[in-house]
A and B are shown apart, each in its own frame.
Chain A
Amino acid sequence: METPLKSMGQPTPQSFQPGPQPAPGSERPVECSQIAQFAKLDDLLALGRSYSLWPLTFGLACCAIEMMAAGMARWDLARFGAEVFRPSPRQADVMIVAGTVNKKMAPAVKLLYDQMLEPKWVIALGNCALSGGPFNFAGQYGIVEGVDKLFPVDVYVPGCPPRPEAIIEGILKLEEKITGKRHFPVAKLKE
Protein backbone atom coordinates (compact mmCIF):
# COMPACT_ATOMS: atom_id res chain seq x y z
CA MET A 1 0.00 0.00 0.00
CA GLU A 2 3.00 2.28 0.38
CA THR A 3 3.87 2.31 -3.29
CA PRO A 4 5.01 5.76 -4.32
CA LEU A 5 2.63 7.45 -6.63
CA LYS A 6 3.85 8.56 -9.95
CA SER A 7 4.07 12.30 -9.51
CA MET A 8 3.06 13.72 -12.80
CA GLY A 9 0.69 16.39 -13.83
CA GLN A 10 -0.83 18.87 -11.51
CA PRO A 11 0.99 20.51 -8.62
CA THR A 12 -0.31 18.78 -5.56
CA PRO A 13 -0.45 20.57 -2.25
CA GLN A 14 2.79 18.91 -1.23
CA SER A 15 4.53 21.04 -3.77
CA PHE A 16 3.01 24.10 -2.21
CA GLN A 17 5.79 24.15 0.39
CA PRO A 18 8.02 27.19 0.20
CA GLY A 19 10.42 26.05 -2.44
CA PRO A 20 13.74 27.37 -3.62
CA GLN A 21 13.57 30.28 -5.94
CA PRO A 22 14.29 29.35 -9.52
CA ALA A 23 17.78 30.18 -10.53
CA PRO A 24 18.06 33.28 -12.70
CA GLY A 25 17.74 32.32 -16.31
CA SER A 26 16.19 28.94 -15.59
CA GLU A 27 13.34 28.10 -17.94
CA ARG A 28 11.10 26.68 -15.28
CA PRO A 29 7.83 28.61 -15.26
CA VAL A 30 7.14 30.53 -12.11
CA GLU A 31 4.31 28.96 -10.18
CA CYS A 32 1.83 31.04 -8.30
CA SER A 33 2.74 29.25 -5.09
CA GLN A 34 6.28 30.49 -5.37
CA ILE A 35 5.16 34.06 -5.15
CA ALA A 36 2.35 33.92 -2.65
CA GLN A 37 1.75 31.28 -0.04
CA PHE A 38 -1.61 30.40 1.39
CA ALA A 39 -0.62 27.21 3.13
CA LYS A 40 -3.67 26.75 5.31
CA LEU A 41 -6.06 27.83 2.59
CA ASP A 42 -4.44 25.45 0.14
CA ASP A 43 -4.73 22.59 2.60
CA LEU A 44 -8.35 23.40 3.10
CA LEU A 45 -8.98 23.58 -0.61
CA ALA A 46 -7.21 20.26 -1.12
CA LEU A 47 -9.33 18.66 1.56
CA GLY A 48 -12.46 19.96 -0.04
CA ARG A 49 -11.39 18.83 -3.47
CA SER A 50 -10.41 15.39 -2.32
CA TYR A 51 -13.81 14.69 -0.79
CA SER A 52 -15.84 16.00 -3.66
CA LEU A 53 -14.22 14.37 -6.63
CA TRP A 54 -16.57 14.39 -9.56
CA PRO A 55 -15.61 11.65 -11.94
CA LEU A 56 -16.35 11.81 -15.63
CA THR A 57 -18.95 9.30 -16.79
CA PHE A 58 -16.65 7.64 -19.19
CA GLY A 59 -17.10 3.96 -19.77
CA LEU A 60 -15.07 2.31 -22.45
CA ALA A 61 -15.37 -1.40 -21.84
CA CYS A 62 -15.66 -4.07 -19.18
CA CYS A 63 -14.14 -1.94 -16.41
CA ALA A 64 -16.99 0.54 -16.81
CA ILE A 65 -19.44 -2.05 -15.51
CA GLU A 66 -17.37 -2.50 -12.38
CA MET A 67 -17.11 1.27 -12.09
CA MET A 68 -20.89 1.43 -12.22
CA ALA A 69 -21.09 -1.34 -9.65
CA ALA A 70 -18.76 0.63 -7.40
CA GLY A 71 -21.14 3.54 -7.55
CA MET A 72 -24.18 1.44 -6.67
CA ALA A 73 -25.64 0.66 -3.29
CA ARG A 74 -23.46 -2.24 -2.29
CA TRP A 75 -20.04 -0.66 -2.73
CA ASP A 76 -21.31 2.88 -2.43
CA LEU A 77 -18.58 5.12 -3.68
CA ALA A 78 -20.55 8.01 -2.18
CA ARG A 79 -19.04 7.19 1.19
CA PHE A 80 -15.79 8.62 -0.13
CA GLY A 81 -17.30 11.57 -1.91
CA ALA A 82 -16.79 10.44 -5.48
CA GLU A 83 -20.22 9.36 -6.62
CA VAL A 84 -21.31 12.40 -8.59
CA PHE A 85 -20.60 11.12 -12.09
CA ARG A 86 -20.70 13.95 -14.57
CA PRO A 87 -21.34 13.37 -18.23
CA SER A 88 -19.60 16.59 -19.24
CA PRO A 89 -15.83 16.94 -18.98
CA ARG A 90 -16.30 20.60 -18.07
CA GLN A 91 -17.88 19.60 -14.78
CA ALA A 92 -15.60 16.72 -13.88
CA ASP A 93 -12.44 16.65 -11.78
CA VAL A 94 -11.25 13.14 -12.26
CA MET A 95 -11.26 11.04 -15.37
CA ILE A 96 -11.48 7.34 -14.75
CA VAL A 97 -10.23 5.73 -17.92
CA ALA A 98 -12.15 2.47 -17.66
CA GLY A 99 -11.20 0.24 -20.52
CA THR A 100 -9.18 -0.18 -23.67
CA VAL A 101 -8.26 2.92 -25.61
CA ASN A 102 -7.67 2.13 -29.25
CA LYS A 103 -6.12 4.28 -31.90
CA LYS A 104 -9.46 5.39 -33.26
CA MET A 105 -10.64 6.45 -29.82
CA ALA A 106 -7.38 8.01 -28.62
CA PRO A 107 -7.98 11.49 -30.08
CA ALA A 108 -11.39 11.62 -28.44
CA VAL A 109 -9.97 10.58 -25.06
CA LYS A 110 -7.25 13.19 -25.36
CA LEU A 111 -9.85 15.80 -26.25
CA LEU A 112 -11.92 14.89 -23.21
CA TYR A 113 -8.87 15.25 -21.01
CA ASP A 114 -8.05 18.61 -22.52
CA GLN A 115 -11.59 19.81 -22.00
CA MET A 116 -11.51 19.13 -18.27
CA LEU A 117 -10.77 22.11 -16.11
CA GLU A 118 -7.80 22.33 -13.78
CA PRO A 119 -7.22 20.90 -11.28
CA LYS A 120 -7.82 17.51 -12.83
CA TRP A 121 -6.66 14.00 -12.13
CA VAL A 122 -6.64 10.74 -14.01
CA ILE A 123 -7.16 7.21 -12.78
CA ALA A 124 -6.17 4.47 -15.20
CA LEU A 125 -8.53 1.64 -14.41
CA GLY A 126 -7.77 -1.87 -15.48
CA ASN A 127 -4.93 -3.50 -17.30
CA CYS A 128 -5.96 -2.14 -20.67
CA ALA A 129 -5.62 1.43 -19.51
CA LEU A 130 -2.36 0.57 -17.76
CA SER A 131 -0.52 -1.12 -20.58
CA GLY A 132 -2.94 -2.48 -23.15
CA GLY A 133 -3.46 -5.49 -20.93
CA PRO A 134 -4.49 -8.69 -22.67
CA PHE A 135 -4.75 -6.87 -25.98
CA ASN A 136 -1.11 -5.95 -26.03
CA PHE A 137 0.47 -8.65 -28.14
CA ALA A 138 3.14 -8.83 -30.76
CA GLY A 139 1.65 -7.68 -34.02
CA GLN A 140 -1.24 -5.74 -32.56
CA TYR A 141 -2.49 -3.00 -34.82
CA GLY A 142 -5.19 -1.22 -32.92
CA ILE A 143 -4.71 -0.20 -29.34
CA VAL A 144 -2.81 2.42 -27.38
CA GLU A 145 -0.52 0.55 -25.01
CA GLY A 146 -1.33 2.38 -21.85
CA VAL A 147 -3.27 5.56 -21.47
CA ASP A 148 -0.24 7.32 -19.97
CA LYS A 149 1.05 7.59 -23.52
CA LEU A 150 -1.69 10.19 -24.02
CA PHE A 151 -1.68 12.20 -20.81
CA PRO A 152 -0.30 11.96 -17.28
CA VAL A 153 -1.91 9.44 -14.99
CA ASP A 154 -2.12 9.85 -11.22
CA VAL A 155 -3.30 6.46 -10.00
CA TYR A 156 -3.00 3.10 -11.68
CA VAL A 157 -5.50 0.42 -10.67
CA PRO A 158 -4.64 -3.02 -12.03
CA GLY A 159 -7.12 -5.81 -12.61
CA CYS A 160 -9.08 -7.29 -15.45
CA PRO A 161 -11.46 -5.85 -14.50
CA PRO A 162 -10.54 -4.43 -11.08
CA ARG A 163 -12.97 -5.27 -8.34
CA PRO A 164 -15.03 -2.41 -6.91
CA GLU A 165 -12.85 -2.51 -3.80
CA ALA A 166 -9.86 -1.80 -6.01
CA ILE A 167 -11.66 1.11 -7.59
CA ILE A 168 -12.48 2.52 -4.17
CA GLU A 169 -8.86 2.06 -3.15
CA GLY A 170 -7.84 3.94 -6.28
CA ILE A 171 -10.06 6.82 -5.26
CA LEU A 172 -8.59 6.76 -1.76
CA LYS A 173 -5.09 6.80 -3.20
CA LEU A 174 -6.02 9.80 -5.24
CA GLU A 175 -7.42 11.54 -2.19
CA GLU A 176 -4.18 10.75 -0.42
CA LYS A 177 -2.28 12.28 -3.27
CA ILE A 178 -4.39 15.43 -3.22
CA THR A 179 -4.27 16.05 0.51
CA GLY A 180 -0.92 14.47 1.23
CA LYS A 181 -2.48 12.41 3.99
CA ARG A 182 -4.45 9.19 4.15
CA HIS A 183 -7.71 9.72 5.98
CA PHE A 184 -9.06 6.21 5.78
CA PRO A 185 -7.41 3.11 7.19
CA VAL A 186 -5.66 0.77 4.82
CA ALA A 187 -7.48 -2.52 4.51
CA LYS A 188 -5.42 -5.39 5.87
CA LEU A 189 -5.38 -8.75 4.19
CA LYS A 190 -6.38 -11.69 6.34
CA GLU A 191 -3.52 -13.91 7.33
Chain B
Amino acid sequence: MIARKDSLSAAPDGQGPQETFVLNLGPQHPAAHGVLRVLTTMEGEWIQRAEPVIGYIHRMHEKMGENRTWAKFLPNTSRIDYLSAMHYTHAFVGVVERALKIEVPARAEYIRVITSELNRIASHMVWWGALLSDLGGLTPFLYAFDDREKILDLLEGLCGARLTYCYYRFGGLYNDADDDFLNGTRAFVKHMPPRLRMYRDLVSDNIILRKRLEEIGPISAEMCRRYGATGPVIRGAGVAYDVRRCEPYSVYPKFDFKIPTYPQADSMARYLVRMDEMEQSLRIIDQALDQITAGPFMAPKVPRVIKLPPGDYCYAVEAARGRFMVRIVSDGKEMPYRLKLRTPSFSNLSLFEEASRGMILPDALAMMGSLDLVIPDIDR
Protein backbone atom coordinates (compact mmCIF):
# COMPACT_ATOMS: atom_id res chain seq x y z
CA MET B 1 0.00 0.00 0.00
CA ILE B 2 1.30 3.40 -0.93
CA ALA B 3 0.59 5.94 1.70
CA ARG B 4 -1.46 8.95 0.92
CA LYS B 5 0.66 11.95 0.17
CA ASP B 6 -0.49 14.86 2.23
CA SER B 7 2.09 17.52 1.56
CA LEU B 8 1.80 18.19 -2.12
CA SER B 9 3.51 20.96 -4.02
CA ALA B 10 6.81 20.26 -2.38
CA ALA B 11 9.44 18.07 -3.89
CA PRO B 12 10.55 15.10 -1.79
CA ASP B 13 13.86 16.74 -1.14
CA GLY B 14 12.23 20.05 -0.32
CA GLN B 15 13.79 21.81 -3.32
CA GLY B 16 10.78 23.91 -4.16
CA PRO B 17 7.58 23.06 -5.98
CA GLN B 18 7.50 20.07 -8.23
CA GLU B 19 6.24 20.31 -11.75
CA THR B 20 2.68 19.22 -12.42
CA PHE B 21 1.01 18.03 -15.58
CA VAL B 22 -2.58 17.62 -16.66
CA LEU B 23 -3.78 14.14 -17.48
CA ASN B 24 -7.09 13.77 -19.23
CA LEU B 25 -9.00 10.63 -18.35
CA GLY B 26 -11.98 9.95 -20.54
CA PRO B 27 -14.62 10.61 -21.70
CA GLN B 28 -13.97 7.22 -23.22
CA HIS B 29 -11.95 5.29 -20.74
CA PRO B 30 -12.44 1.65 -19.83
CA ALA B 31 -12.00 2.31 -16.13
CA ALA B 32 -14.44 5.17 -16.01
CA HIS B 33 -17.57 3.03 -16.41
CA GLY B 34 -18.98 4.98 -19.27
CA VAL B 35 -18.43 8.47 -20.43
CA LEU B 36 -17.01 10.10 -17.37
CA ARG B 37 -14.14 12.47 -17.91
CA VAL B 38 -11.73 13.32 -15.16
CA LEU B 39 -9.27 16.13 -15.60
CA THR B 40 -6.43 15.26 -13.29
CA THR B 41 -3.57 17.51 -12.39
CA MET B 42 -0.81 15.13 -11.48
CA GLU B 43 2.28 15.67 -9.49
CA GLY B 44 4.29 12.68 -10.52
CA GLU B 45 2.17 9.71 -9.57
CA TRP B 46 0.08 11.71 -7.15
CA ILE B 47 -3.14 13.46 -7.87
CA GLN B 48 -3.10 17.10 -7.02
CA ARG B 49 -6.58 17.76 -8.30
CA ALA B 50 -9.00 15.45 -10.08
CA GLU B 51 -11.98 17.30 -11.41
CA PRO B 52 -14.77 15.22 -12.92
CA VAL B 53 -16.18 16.76 -16.07
CA ILE B 54 -19.66 15.46 -16.70
CA GLY B 55 -22.46 16.01 -19.16
CA TYR B 56 -21.29 13.63 -21.87
CA ILE B 57 -24.46 11.61 -21.61
CA HIS B 58 -26.89 14.32 -20.55
CA ARG B 59 -30.20 13.14 -21.95
CA MET B 60 -32.63 15.88 -20.99
CA HIS B 61 -34.82 13.76 -18.74
CA GLU B 62 -36.00 16.77 -16.78
CA LYS B 63 -36.91 18.63 -19.93
CA MET B 64 -38.75 15.60 -21.23
CA GLY B 65 -40.69 15.44 -18.00
CA GLU B 66 -42.16 18.83 -18.73
CA ASN B 67 -43.08 17.80 -22.24
CA ARG B 68 -45.14 14.71 -21.73
CA THR B 69 -47.88 13.38 -19.54
CA TRP B 70 -47.23 11.56 -16.30
CA ALA B 71 -47.81 8.15 -17.83
CA LYS B 72 -45.65 8.86 -20.84
CA PHE B 73 -42.70 9.76 -18.67
CA LEU B 74 -42.83 6.39 -16.94
CA PRO B 75 -40.51 4.54 -19.38
CA ASN B 76 -37.93 7.30 -18.97
CA THR B 77 -37.44 6.51 -15.32
CA SER B 78 -35.92 3.14 -16.06
CA ARG B 79 -33.35 4.72 -18.35
CA ILE B 80 -31.93 7.15 -15.82
CA ASP B 81 -30.11 4.50 -13.87
CA TYR B 82 -30.62 1.47 -16.03
CA LEU B 83 -29.07 -0.86 -13.47
CA SER B 84 -31.70 -0.16 -10.83
CA ALA B 85 -34.65 0.58 -13.04
CA MET B 86 -37.22 -0.83 -10.64
CA HIS B 87 -36.31 1.59 -7.87
CA TYR B 88 -36.48 4.59 -10.13
CA THR B 89 -39.86 3.62 -11.48
CA HIS B 90 -40.96 3.05 -7.92
CA ALA B 91 -40.05 6.60 -6.96
CA PHE B 92 -41.93 8.06 -9.88
CA VAL B 93 -45.12 6.03 -9.44
CA GLY B 94 -44.79 6.67 -5.72
CA VAL B 95 -44.83 10.42 -6.11
CA VAL B 96 -47.92 10.31 -8.30
CA GLU B 97 -49.64 7.96 -5.89
CA ARG B 98 -48.74 10.26 -3.02
CA ALA B 99 -50.19 13.28 -4.79
CA LEU B 100 -53.37 11.47 -5.83
CA LYS B 101 -53.60 9.62 -2.49
CA ILE B 102 -53.93 6.27 -4.23
CA GLU B 103 -53.85 3.29 -1.93
CA VAL B 104 -51.79 0.54 -3.55
CA PRO B 105 -53.01 -3.02 -2.88
CA ALA B 106 -50.87 -5.09 -0.56
CA ARG B 107 -50.04 -7.70 -3.16
CA ALA B 108 -48.72 -5.07 -5.52
CA GLU B 109 -46.57 -3.62 -2.75
CA TYR B 110 -45.10 -7.02 -1.96
CA ILE B 111 -44.33 -7.71 -5.59
CA ARG B 112 -42.75 -4.27 -5.83
CA VAL B 113 -40.52 -5.07 -2.90
CA ILE B 114 -39.54 -8.46 -4.33
CA THR B 115 -38.72 -7.07 -7.74
CA SER B 116 -36.90 -4.07 -6.28
CA GLU B 117 -34.71 -6.25 -4.14
CA LEU B 118 -34.01 -8.62 -7.02
CA ASN B 119 -33.02 -5.60 -9.04
CA ARG B 120 -30.75 -4.44 -6.23
CA ILE B 121 -28.93 -7.76 -6.26
CA ALA B 122 -28.61 -7.64 -10.05
CA SER B 123 -27.22 -4.13 -9.84
CA HIS B 124 -24.72 -5.05 -7.16
CA MET B 125 -23.60 -8.00 -9.26
CA VAL B 126 -22.72 -5.66 -12.11
CA TRP B 127 -20.90 -3.36 -9.72
CA TRP B 128 -19.00 -6.28 -8.26
CA GLY B 129 -17.88 -7.53 -11.63
CA ALA B 130 -16.99 -4.07 -12.85
CA LEU B 131 -15.00 -3.19 -9.75
CA LEU B 132 -13.05 -6.40 -9.94
CA SER B 133 -12.32 -5.91 -13.62
CA ASP B 134 -11.14 -2.39 -12.79
CA LEU B 135 -8.75 -3.95 -10.35
CA GLY B 136 -7.54 -6.35 -13.01
CA GLY B 137 -9.48 -9.57 -12.55
CA LEU B 138 -11.98 -10.41 -15.26
CA THR B 139 -13.07 -13.79 -13.91
CA PRO B 140 -15.51 -12.48 -11.28
CA PHE B 141 -17.28 -10.59 -14.03
CA LEU B 142 -18.25 -13.89 -15.63
CA TYR B 143 -19.56 -15.27 -12.34
CA ALA B 144 -21.47 -12.08 -11.60
CA PHE B 145 -23.21 -11.99 -14.93
CA ASP B 146 -24.05 -15.65 -14.62
CA ASP B 147 -26.05 -15.00 -11.46
CA ARG B 148 -27.43 -11.79 -12.79
CA GLU B 149 -28.89 -13.58 -15.80
CA LYS B 150 -30.98 -15.69 -13.45
CA ILE B 151 -32.54 -12.56 -12.02
CA LEU B 152 -33.03 -11.07 -15.45
CA ASP B 153 -34.87 -14.20 -16.55
CA LEU B 154 -37.24 -13.89 -13.63
CA LEU B 155 -37.93 -10.24 -14.26
CA GLU B 156 -38.22 -10.77 -17.99
CA GLY B 157 -40.92 -13.34 -17.41
CA LEU B 158 -42.73 -10.76 -15.36
CA CYS B 159 -42.56 -7.68 -17.55
CA GLY B 160 -40.82 -8.59 -20.77
CA ALA B 161 -37.74 -6.44 -20.37
CA ARG B 162 -34.28 -7.54 -19.40
CA LEU B 163 -32.87 -4.23 -18.31
CA THR B 164 -35.15 -1.24 -18.58
CA TYR B 165 -38.22 -2.51 -16.81
CA CYS B 166 -41.36 -0.46 -16.92
CA TYR B 167 -43.29 -2.74 -14.63
CA TYR B 168 -44.89 -0.51 -12.04
CA ARG B 169 -47.97 1.49 -12.83
CA PHE B 170 -49.70 4.27 -10.98
CA GLY B 171 -51.67 2.35 -8.39
CA GLY B 172 -50.17 -1.05 -8.94
CA LEU B 173 -48.38 -3.14 -11.50
CA TYR B 174 -48.47 -3.89 -15.17
CA ASN B 175 -49.53 -7.47 -14.52
CA ASP B 176 -49.72 -9.96 -11.72
CA ALA B 177 -46.83 -12.16 -10.70
CA ASP B 178 -47.55 -15.72 -11.71
CA ASP B 179 -46.46 -18.89 -9.97
CA ASP B 180 -43.51 -19.24 -12.30
CA PHE B 181 -42.10 -16.02 -10.98
CA LEU B 182 -42.77 -16.76 -7.33
CA ASN B 183 -41.40 -20.29 -7.53
CA GLY B 184 -38.45 -19.11 -9.56
CA THR B 185 -37.71 -16.45 -6.97
CA ARG B 186 -37.93 -19.03 -4.18
CA ALA B 187 -35.43 -21.17 -6.05
CA PHE B 188 -33.19 -18.16 -6.56
CA VAL B 189 -33.26 -17.27 -2.88
CA LYS B 190 -32.01 -20.78 -2.15
CA HIS B 191 -29.47 -20.67 -4.95
CA MET B 192 -27.83 -17.40 -4.03
CA PRO B 193 -26.40 -17.80 -0.48
CA PRO B 194 -23.92 -20.53 -1.44
CA ARG B 195 -22.84 -18.36 -4.34
CA LEU B 196 -22.30 -15.40 -2.03
CA ARG B 197 -20.24 -17.62 0.25
CA MET B 198 -18.20 -18.65 -2.74
CA TYR B 199 -17.69 -15.03 -3.72
CA ARG B 200 -16.46 -14.32 -0.24
CA ASP B 201 -13.96 -17.16 -0.39
CA LEU B 202 -12.96 -16.39 -3.94
CA VAL B 203 -12.74 -12.63 -3.86
CA SER B 204 -13.55 -10.86 -0.60
CA ASP B 205 -10.90 -12.69 1.37
CA ASN B 206 -8.40 -12.40 -1.41
CA ILE B 207 -5.23 -10.72 -0.26
CA ILE B 208 -4.78 -8.80 -3.50
CA LEU B 209 -8.25 -7.32 -3.25
CA ARG B 210 -7.71 -6.35 0.35
CA LYS B 211 -4.41 -4.68 -0.45
CA ARG B 212 -6.09 -2.72 -3.19
CA LEU B 213 -9.08 -1.60 -1.15
CA GLU B 214 -8.24 -1.48 2.52
CA GLU B 215 -7.41 1.97 3.81
CA ILE B 216 -7.73 3.31 0.30
CA GLY B 217 -9.99 6.24 -0.42
CA PRO B 218 -11.30 7.16 3.01
CA ILE B 219 -14.59 9.03 2.85
CA SER B 220 -15.65 10.14 6.29
CA ALA B 221 -19.21 10.45 7.49
CA GLU B 222 -18.76 14.19 7.72
CA MET B 223 -17.63 14.39 4.11
CA CYS B 224 -20.63 12.33 3.07
CA ARG B 225 -22.89 14.73 4.90
CA ARG B 226 -21.37 17.82 3.34
CA TYR B 227 -21.72 16.38 -0.13
CA GLY B 228 -24.99 14.57 0.41
CA ALA B 229 -23.52 11.21 -0.46
CA THR B 230 -25.86 8.34 0.33
CA GLY B 231 -26.24 4.66 -0.16
CA PRO B 232 -23.34 2.31 0.40
CA VAL B 233 -20.97 5.29 0.50
CA ILE B 234 -22.44 6.74 3.68
CA ARG B 235 -23.12 3.29 5.13
CA GLY B 236 -19.49 2.44 4.50
CA ALA B 237 -18.70 5.45 6.69
CA GLY B 238 -20.62 3.99 9.59
CA VAL B 239 -23.88 5.92 9.24
CA ALA B 240 -26.94 3.69 9.00
CA TYR B 241 -28.78 5.94 6.57
CA ASP B 242 -31.16 3.97 4.43
CA VAL B 243 -34.31 5.46 2.96
CA ARG B 244 -36.07 2.16 3.57
CA ARG B 245 -35.64 2.85 7.30
CA CYS B 246 -35.44 6.61 7.55
CA GLU B 247 -38.35 7.49 5.30
CA PRO B 248 -40.18 4.18 5.14
CA TYR B 249 -42.11 3.57 1.96
CA SER B 250 -44.03 0.67 0.46
CA VAL B 251 -44.19 -2.30 2.88
CA TYR B 252 -40.57 -2.17 4.01
CA PRO B 253 -41.50 -1.58 7.68
CA LYS B 254 -42.97 -5.08 7.76
CA PHE B 255 -39.65 -6.78 7.14
CA ASP B 256 -36.87 -7.62 9.48
CA PHE B 257 -33.59 -6.68 7.89
CA LYS B 258 -30.31 -5.16 8.94
CA ILE B 259 -28.68 -2.11 7.50
CA PRO B 260 -25.06 -3.15 7.11
CA THR B 261 -22.59 -0.49 8.12
CA TYR B 262 -18.85 -0.50 8.43
CA PRO B 263 -17.02 2.23 10.31
CA GLN B 264 -13.71 1.99 8.42
CA ALA B 265 -14.93 4.40 5.71
CA ASP B 266 -12.49 3.02 3.15
CA SER B 267 -13.11 1.34 -0.19
CA MET B 268 -13.21 -2.06 1.46
CA ALA B 269 -15.99 -0.90 3.79
CA ARG B 270 -18.10 0.14 0.83
CA TYR B 271 -17.31 -3.17 -0.82
CA LEU B 272 -18.42 -5.13 2.24
CA VAL B 273 -21.56 -3.05 2.66
CA ARG B 274 -22.72 -4.04 -0.79
CA MET B 275 -21.85 -7.68 -0.28
CA ASP B 276 -23.86 -7.70 2.96
CA GLU B 277 -26.70 -5.82 1.32
CA MET B 278 -27.18 -8.64 -1.12
CA GLU B 279 -27.68 -11.02 1.79
CA GLN B 280 -30.16 -8.64 3.38
CA SER B 281 -32.03 -8.28 0.10
CA LEU B 282 -32.36 -12.04 -0.02
CA ARG B 283 -33.74 -11.97 3.50
CA ILE B 284 -36.32 -9.37 2.52
CA ILE B 285 -37.34 -11.37 -0.54
CA ASP B 286 -37.64 -14.50 1.55
CA GLN B 287 -39.94 -12.78 4.05
CA ALA B 288 -41.97 -11.13 1.31
CA LEU B 289 -42.52 -14.48 -0.39
CA ASP B 290 -43.84 -15.86 2.88
CA GLN B 291 -46.10 -12.90 3.59
CA ILE B 292 -47.51 -12.31 0.13
CA THR B 293 -51.21 -13.07 -0.25
CA ALA B 294 -53.55 -13.29 -3.18
CA GLY B 295 -55.46 -10.19 -4.10
CA PRO B 296 -55.74 -7.45 -6.67
CA PHE B 297 -52.60 -6.01 -8.17
CA MET B 298 -54.07 -2.69 -9.23
CA ALA B 299 -55.82 -0.07 -7.16
CA PRO B 300 -59.51 -0.03 -8.08
CA LYS B 301 -59.86 3.61 -9.04
CA VAL B 302 -56.97 5.11 -10.91
CA PRO B 303 -58.03 7.98 -13.16
CA ARG B 304 -57.44 7.41 -16.82
CA VAL B 305 -56.18 10.93 -17.36
CA ILE B 306 -53.89 11.77 -14.54
CA LYS B 307 -53.97 15.32 -13.25
CA LEU B 308 -52.22 16.03 -10.01
CA PRO B 309 -53.49 18.60 -7.54
CA PRO B 310 -51.30 21.72 -7.63
CA GLY B 311 -48.37 21.73 -5.30
CA ASP B 312 -45.02 20.08 -4.95
CA TYR B 313 -44.44 16.51 -3.88
CA CYS B 314 -41.36 14.44 -3.17
CA TYR B 315 -40.83 10.74 -3.01
CA ALA B 316 -37.56 9.09 -2.16
CA VAL B 317 -36.47 5.49 -2.50
CA GLU B 318 -33.35 3.61 -1.67
CA ALA B 319 -31.95 2.75 -5.07
CA ALA B 320 -28.94 0.51 -5.47
CA ARG B 321 -26.63 3.51 -5.39
CA GLY B 322 -28.36 5.44 -2.66
CA ARG B 323 -31.10 7.92 -2.18
CA PHE B 324 -33.11 8.67 -5.29
CA MET B 325 -35.74 11.33 -5.00
CA VAL B 326 -38.28 12.65 -7.43
CA ARG B 327 -39.48 16.16 -6.74
CA ILE B 328 -42.39 17.28 -8.85
CA VAL B 329 -44.20 20.55 -9.09
CA SER B 330 -47.67 20.28 -10.51
CA ASP B 331 -49.85 23.09 -11.73
CA GLY B 332 -52.90 20.90 -12.05
CA LYS B 333 -52.38 20.08 -15.71
CA GLU B 334 -51.75 16.75 -17.38
CA MET B 335 -48.01 17.32 -17.51
CA PRO B 336 -45.56 18.09 -14.74
CA TYR B 337 -44.70 21.75 -14.36
CA ARG B 338 -41.27 20.80 -13.13
CA LEU B 339 -39.69 17.48 -12.51
CA LYS B 340 -36.47 17.22 -10.57
CA LEU B 341 -34.55 14.00 -10.32
CA ARG B 342 -32.19 13.82 -7.41
CA THR B 343 -29.86 11.01 -8.28
CA PRO B 344 -27.45 9.32 -5.90
CA SER B 345 -24.49 9.01 -8.25
CA PHE B 346 -24.42 12.78 -8.77
CA SER B 347 -23.84 13.45 -5.08
CA ASN B 348 -21.59 10.44 -4.66
CA LEU B 349 -19.29 11.59 -7.44
CA SER B 350 -19.23 15.21 -6.31
CA LEU B 351 -16.99 14.29 -3.39
CA PHE B 352 -14.45 12.65 -5.69
CA GLU B 353 -12.43 15.81 -6.18
CA GLU B 354 -11.90 16.28 -2.46
CA ALA B 355 -11.49 12.63 -1.60
CA SER B 356 -8.98 11.84 -4.33
CA ARG B 357 -6.56 14.63 -3.47
CA GLY B 358 -3.14 13.21 -2.72
CA MET B 359 -3.90 9.68 -3.87
CA ILE B 360 -2.06 7.83 -6.57
CA LEU B 361 -4.05 7.35 -9.74
CA PRO B 362 -4.68 3.57 -9.55
CA ASP B 363 -6.00 3.97 -6.02
CA ALA B 364 -8.24 6.80 -7.08
CA LEU B 365 -9.70 4.56 -9.77
CA ALA B 366 -10.22 1.80 -7.22
CA MET B 367 -12.04 4.30 -5.06
CA MET B 368 -14.10 5.41 -8.03
CA GLY B 369 -15.03 1.79 -8.61
CA SER B 370 -16.14 1.51 -5.01
CA LEU B 371 -18.46 4.49 -5.49
CA ASP B 372 -20.41 2.43 -8.05
CA LEU B 373 -21.10 5.11 -10.61
CA VAL B 374 -23.60 4.96 -13.40
CA ILE B 375 -22.86 7.90 -15.63
CA PRO B 376 -26.33 8.49 -17.15
CA ASP B 377 -27.53 8.60 -13.55
CA ILE B 378 -25.19 11.52 -12.94
CA ASP B 379 -25.94 13.41 -16.12
CA ARG B 380 -29.62 12.51 -16.40
Contact = CB atoms under 8 A, between A and B. Distances in A.
Direct contact of A and B (CB under 8 A): yes
Interface of A: 57-62, 64-66, 68-69, 72-74, 87, 99-100, 102, 104-105, 108, 112, 134-135, 137-143, 160-161, 163
Dominant secondary structure at the A interface: loop
- Give the most central of A57, A60, A66: most B CB within 10 Å: A60
B60 A105 contact: no
Nearest to A160: B164
A137 B28 contact: no
Contacts of A135: 59-60, 64
Contacts of B56: 102, 104-105, 108
B60 A62 contact: no
25 contacts: A60-B34, A60-B57, A61-B376, A62-B79, A62-B82, A62-B164, A64-B34, A65-B82, A65-B83, A72-B142, A73-B142, A73-B145, A87-B30, A100-B57, A102-B56, A104-B55, A104-B58, A105-B35, A105-B56, A135-B59, A135-B64, A137-B68, A139-B63, A161-B162, A161-B164
A69 B30 CA distance: 16
Contact of A142 (B30, B34, B60, B148): B60
B146 A65 contact: no
Contacts of A138: 67
A148 B149 CA distance: 32
A143 B59 contact: yes
- Give the most central of B29, B79, B164: most A CB within 10 Å: B79
A109 B64 CA distance: 24
Nearest 5 A/B pairs, CB to CB:
A72-B145, A62-B82, A87-B30, A105-B56, A142-B60
A62 B64 contact: no
Contact of A99 (B33, B55, B57): B57
B75 interface: yes
Nearest to B149: A74
Interface string B92-130: 000000000000000000000000000000000010000
